[in-house]
Each structure stands twice: as C-alpha cells, then as structure tokens.
Amino acid sequence: MLPSISLLFASASAFLALLPFSAAHGIAGVIAAHRELSTLSAIINQYPELLQALTSTNGTFLAPSNAAIDTFVAAQGADLSAISNDTIQALVSYHLLPTALSAANLSVAGGAIAQTSLLSQAYANLQGASNVVYASAYGSAGQDSGPTGLKVYSGVGTPANVTSSDLAYPGGFVHVIDRVLNFPQPCTKTAQAAQLSTLYDALVKANLTDYVDTIANFTCFAPTNTAFQAAGIDLAALSSQQLVDALKYHSIVGSVGYSTALEDGKEYQTLLGVPVTVHKRDQQLFINDVAVLQSNVIMSNGVAHVLSGVLTPPANATTTTSSASSTSTSPGGASTTGTAAGSSTGTAGNGAVSLSARGVTCYMIVTLIFTSLAFA
C-alpha cells in the first residue's frame, strides 16, 4: 500500500526544500507545491531518474490528480509496487510533452496533436518517433461548434478532463488531469477495447491481425458495429480475399494521418489504387461522405478514426501492386505541429504534428461493402 497522502506530501515538500532554486521551480516543483498532486509527487521521488528529468526538463506535464491515481491503482488490482520500474517510467514519459504548451495551445479549433516523450517500442512502434496525445476542447472529433472543456485523449480513445491548467514554471506548464492516460495499444487491442468487434472479426477472417498490429505508422478508419449492421454486411458471406481487397482500399502508404493534418477536399491514394477524399464541413470531418465520430484514437503503431458508416469502393476497383501505393499522397506531409515557428515536437495553430518523419500511413476504413457484383 502507498503511504497516506499527508505523509507523501510532507515527504515531497521536505525533499523540495533541499533542491536548488531552479530545480524547485521545475515540473517536479510545481507538482510538489499542489496538494491535489501529492501522490504523484511521492511516486516521482521514488525514481531518481524521473525526479532528475522532471526537475531539469522544460516542457508540459499532464499530471494525474490524487483521485486519478487512486482509480488507476484500484483498476490494476495491486499497489504501485507491483508495477515494474520500466512501466512506471514509460507511463510518466507519456505524460511529459517536450514542448511548452499552454491550455490555449491545446484548445485550438479542430484539436491539437502533441508529441510526448514516450519512445518505448511496446507503445510507440513509429519508426523511432515518440507517440502522441490528442487534445481537444471541441469534442472527440474536434469539430464541435464551440468549446466544451479541454480533454486529452490517449490510448483506446479514453478522455482525461483537464481540471486545472497553466500551472506555470519558467520552462513550461503543468496541467492537472482527472485520469491516468492509457498506454497506446496495437490495432486489434484498440478495436476490442473500443468495442469495434465487427472490425476485429473482419481482421481475423482476413488473417491480417499480425500485420495491422506490427506494421509501423498505421492509421485505421474503423466503422462502428452499428455502422456494419446498418449496411447489412454479413462477414460470413465474404471470402477472405474479398476482405483483404476491401482492406487494401482502406490502406494508404505515406505518413500517419492525424485528423489535424488531413486537408479538406484532398484525395489520398489507397493501396487498392483508388483514392479516398477528405471533407471538412458543418463542424464535421468526413472520409468520402462518411462522418468521423471520434478522431485520433492513439494506437501504439499509429492512429484510429471511428466512422459512423462504411465506405464502398468503386465498382471497377482492382488490386494494384504495392509499388503503385508508394507514390500516394501523404496526409499533411508538409504540415507541422509545434510552436508558431513550426516545431515538430509541439503544436501549431492547427494542432497538426509534423508527418514527414512518420513514414507509412495505412488508412483502414474497413467497409466490406462491395457492389452488387461482389455479392452475386
């Protein structure tokens, strides 16, 4: 069991008094100065490397409140001592953003993708790049007509509310959140956690689970179960090859396509050799004419976007070679998320992350709807 909050806070405060002035005013200093973060402060003090990083590193820290950590520990079914040091350090790194980002930076219309310090291959299979979080004050798709409260979305799309913001220190900000961020998971685990069981079943039948879980820089546009049902799709009526071909239509080779980097009216070539088109209208994001219900569900190997419906590939769509896809348009390839100067590690005016280093993007808008000939 962890010590009581009062003892933890006293210990953290005593330690803080021994730190140099600059360290005392770093991220760790801000955390130690706020009682609602006393549990987090005590945890950090148990790990010298983390303490050093959070007293000397500039940037932004998303700090789980005492209640958030209590909920997290209860969900683990064990106290924090049962969690490995590597996992604790990876978890803290996912809450640390290397760029100073105020609440205003994170609350831009459309939302903001922000780079974190999470580099562990288990949670960031992104060809050497760190994983990200998605912040939005305009709903989970970033398209609400007005701000409804700043939230941070992490693995499997679970939001954390920002309850206190802009706790400033000379090198950046600390924002208090009401839940511990979820680690990003691979595509199939994300689909299961997000209750996208029909999509998961389609991947299993097509024998693509290993592929979508291990390929780096993968983006999945995934219809809900309700969308599949409304379309009258019967997976049992489709062959494995039909499923594979449908999935190729929903795959794009290029760069990870976060919604903030997808351009209105632009086509993005799929592995089937047929493009999909992005539209942004009426406070809504669309792929072709299908609305995105939730954007930027962060995965360990990319990102997922949840769709309200399924997409139909053209009647004359045929499978092309992978070489044809290598020349496809990369979503937002020239777009950068960061400061006003365009830093690739933060957020810019439109909140888009630099995509040039992302490598491969595979849009998977698993539709499984074919023309009438497909069902003949």
pLDDT tens digits along 126-159: 999 999 999 999 999 888 888 999 999 999 999 9
Is residue 319 within 8 A of residue 245, CB to CB? The reply is: yes
Residue 295's nearest CA partner among 91, 133, 107, 102 is 133
Instruction: Classify residue 291 by burial, with Cβ atoms within 10 Å: 0-12, 13-18, 19+.
Output: middle
Which DSSP letter does residue 173 get?
A: E
Report how far apart, in Å, the C-alpha atoms of 236 and of each of 200, 240, 242, 258, 368 are. 14, 10, 11, 32, 11
Joined tokens for residue 151: 């939230």
pLDDT per position as a tens digit, 5-51 = 333 333 334 433 444 434 456 999 999 999 999 999 999 998 888 88
- Report the distance separating Cα 247 and Cα 271, nearest Å: 9
Name the class of domain 187-375: mainly beta
pLDDT score of 5: 34
pTM for this predicted structure: 0.80
Q: How confident is the model at residue 372 (pLDDT cuts 50, 70, 90)?
A: very low
**Residue 306: count of CB within 10 angstroms of its CB:** 25
Ordered by start, the domain boundaries in the chain are 1-94, 187-375
Residue 268 backbone phi and psi in degrees, to 5 = -130, 120
pLDDT score of 225: 95
What percent of the chain lies above the pLDDT cut of 90? Answer: 49
pLDDT score of 308: 94
Q: What mean pLDDT comes out for the span 290-309?
A: 93
Instruction: Classify residue 321 by burial, with Cβ atoms within 10 Å: 0-12, 13-18, 19+.
Output: exposed
pLDDT per position as a tens digit, 70-121 = 999 999 887 777 888 889 999 999 999 999 999 999 999 999 999 999 999 9
Is residue 191 within 8 A of residue 203, CB to CB? The reply is: yes
- Indicate if the pLDDT at residue 327 is higher than 50: no
> Where is pLDDT greater, at 192 or 206?
192
